[in-house]
């Protein structure tokens, strides 16, 4: 692994790439020795195809981690296969909780009804951490316009104790996302046309109404804002705004 002075490394990288466009941030970051081994984590959700396409252009052999919670929409599973084939991604790794973890934590598949944090933890955070332990950095699709804790995102951020996160789309606007998908004729997740602006597990995701925050359909009616994978070390916290 690389040195542990993560904040200094993140600051140095942000200075280095401050005036670069998203595609160049991604292209150069995948070759930057100051980042080390890097993977893209993708939900194959509403906007995921943008980063997946960028990776397919600049480095199609980049490892892509897709977390199958075993509670995803069938449309997401089908879309993952479609996009992988169309973009000719060569190293998509589907990761899941083990059978033993499911048997211990959620044998009847009802945990999400009374403890969404615990459900997200064993179905998403724990399996992802197992895979991320092999890498020095990972790429996310988070953007400032998504609000909440994401409003101050930079291209690079520290994730103690030993990783960096790369957010190439941090400064994009909603229209930038739509323009990129249209200009590159990229396939849309089928649930977007049915009002799903942010897509997670089927039991905990609902369509959004006109004027609502794009993530309002995630864990609707609760204070939960994130599944946990975007908190430092997977730490589950709650905030007052959707993030």
Give the tens place of pLDDT for each residue, 175-209: 999 999 999 999 999 999 999 988 999 999 999 88
The distance from CA 166 to its chain's CA centroid, rounded to whole angstroms, is 11
pLDDT at residue number 242:
31
* Residue 201 annotated as binding site: yes
CA separation for the pair 196, 83 (Å, rounded)? 18
Record the tokens describing residue 80, joined without a space.
């993952």
Tokens standing for residue 91: 């190293």
**Residues 160, 150: contact at Cβ < 8 Å?**
no
pLDDT tens track for 100-147:
999 999 999 999 998 988 999 999 999 999 999 999 999 999 887 776
Section 158-168 average pLDDT: 91
Confidence (pTM):
0.86
- Options 3.30.1380.10, 3.30.70.920, 1.10.10.10, 3.40.50.620; CATH of 4-30+37-236: 3.40.50.620
Considering 29-33, 100-104, 238-242, the range whose residues carry the highest mean pLDDT is: 100-104
Say whether 120 counts as a known binding-site residue. Answer: yes
Q: Tokens 């799903």 sit at which residue?
A: 196
Q: In 3-state terms, what secondary structure has residue 113? A: helix
Does residue 69 have a pLDDT over 90? yes
The rounded distance, in Å, linking the Cα atoms of 28 and 194 is 37
User: What are the catalytic residues?
Assistant: 227
Q: Identify the pLDDT of residue 51.
A: 97
Q: Judge whether 204 is annotated as a binding position.
A: yes
């Amino acid at each position: 692994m690389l040195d542990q002075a993560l904040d200094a490394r993140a600051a140095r990288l942000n200075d280095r790439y401050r005036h670069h466009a998203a595609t160049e941030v991604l292209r150069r970051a995948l070759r930057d020795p100051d980042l080390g081994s890097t993977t893209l984590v993708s939900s194959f959700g509403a906007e995921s195809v943008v980063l997946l396409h960028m990776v397919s252009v600049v480095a199609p052999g980049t490892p892509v981690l897709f977390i199958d919670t075993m509670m995803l929409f069938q449309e997401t599973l089908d879309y993952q296969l479609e996009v992988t084939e169309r973009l000719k991604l060569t190293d998509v790794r589907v990761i899941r909780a083990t059978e033993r973890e499911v048997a211990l934590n959620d044998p009847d598949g009802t945990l999400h009804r009374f403890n969404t944090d615990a459900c997200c933890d064993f179905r998403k955070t724990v399996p992802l951490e197992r895979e991320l332990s092999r890498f020095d950095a990972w790429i996310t699709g988070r953007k400032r316009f998504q609000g909440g804790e994401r409003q101050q995102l930079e291209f690079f951020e520290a994730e103690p104790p030993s990783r960096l996160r790369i957010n190439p789309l941090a400064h994009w606007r909603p229209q930038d996302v739509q323009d990129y998908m249209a200009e590159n004729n990229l396939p849309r997740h089928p649930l977007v046309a049915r009002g799903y602006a942010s897509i997670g597990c089927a039991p905990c995701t609902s369509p959004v109404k006109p004027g609502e925050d794009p993530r309002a359909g995630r864990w609707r009616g609760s204070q939960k804002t994130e599944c946990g994978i975007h908190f430092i070390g997977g730490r589950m916290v709650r905030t007052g705004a959707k993030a």
